[in-house]
Chains A and B, each alone.
Chain A
């Protein structure tokens, strides 16, 4: 894939993260001021969100966008350190495979918990 295409998706992913992670941060870190969810890291709050369609979908979207944006950013930083062509290729593949693995794992968790009918308390 050409560098211009990779860069283009990096910016787009950034815009997606701005909205979705902004919402996530507002829920998690501004609960005293905004009060969107009381005790957002408590089990009740977490399971309530995990089983709503909106949150399941947006968590998966956020996961994908953030993994792409973050790993492309780290790749950019590493590529400015005079690495050999072979090392560069290795890093690209490692990030691609590692990123895919993390994405699959996170998506699996999100969908599985959404579908869980009886949740062990």
Chain B
């Protein structure tokens, strides 16, 4: 039988980054980490140029800041702050676990299996709670 019949490409593609199944918290933490990272990078590149205006003295600086005085930008900057709070704290967790820490030692796999991912789950919870605290704290600043 000719094997020329084409296989059907079944890659999840970019949707696979966001979901693709009923997976655990860490997989969504990864997606959020990427999203926040991109958001911060985008803001940062613009930020370099905007803050560069301080070289032009108080006048230039005042003009630049005046452009961003409205509520939309203020909220946008708060989102960048929130994104950083999450990205940094989750980044601490990733930096440590990707270097092999916080997950204990290899064992014999005895059913019911408890993977290293589950062993470091409490760290993820702590990270999310701390991020929430920081985000709320920053929100106080937004409304004052």
Which chain A residues have a beta carbon within 8 Å of chain B's beta carbons?
Answer: 11, 14-15, 17-18, 21-22, 25, 28-33, 41, 43, 46-47, 50, 63, 66, 70-71, 73-74, 77, 102, 105-106, 109, 112-113, 119-121
For chain B, the bracket of interface size reads 35 or more
Are B37 and A73 within 8 A (Cβ)? yes
> B85 contacts which chain A residues (CB < 8 A)?
25
> B138 contacts which chain A residues (CB < 8 A)?
25, 29-30
Which of B41, B65, B98, B141 is A31 in contact with, Cβ under 8 Å? B141
* Nearest CB in chain B: distance from A83 CB, A: 14
Which of A18, A29, A46 is B91 in contact with, Cβ under 8 Å? A18
Most buried by A among B52, B62, B81, B98: B52
B102 close to chain A: CB less than 8 A = no
Known A18-B91, A102-B48, A109-B51; contact A74-B41, beta-carbon cutoff 8 A? yes
Docked CA distance A25–B88 (Å): 11
Are A109 and B52 within 8 A (Cβ)? yes
Are B58 and A119 within 8 A (Cβ)? yes
Docked CA distance A17–B85 (Å): 12
> B77 contacts which chain A residues (CB < 8 A)?
29
A-B contact pairs, 16 of them (CB 8 A): A15-B95, A18-B91, A18-B92, A29-B141, A32-B144, A43-B58, A74-B38, A77-B34, A102-B48, A105-B52, A106-B48, A109-B51, A109-B52, A109-B54, A119-B58, A121-B57
Are A119 and B57 within 8 A (Cβ)? yes
> A17 contacts which chain B residues (CB < 8 A)?
88
B110 close to chain A: CB less than 8 A = no
Docked CA distance A17–B95 (Å): 13
Docked CA distance A63–B57 (Å): 21
Docked CA distance A43–B63 (Å): 11
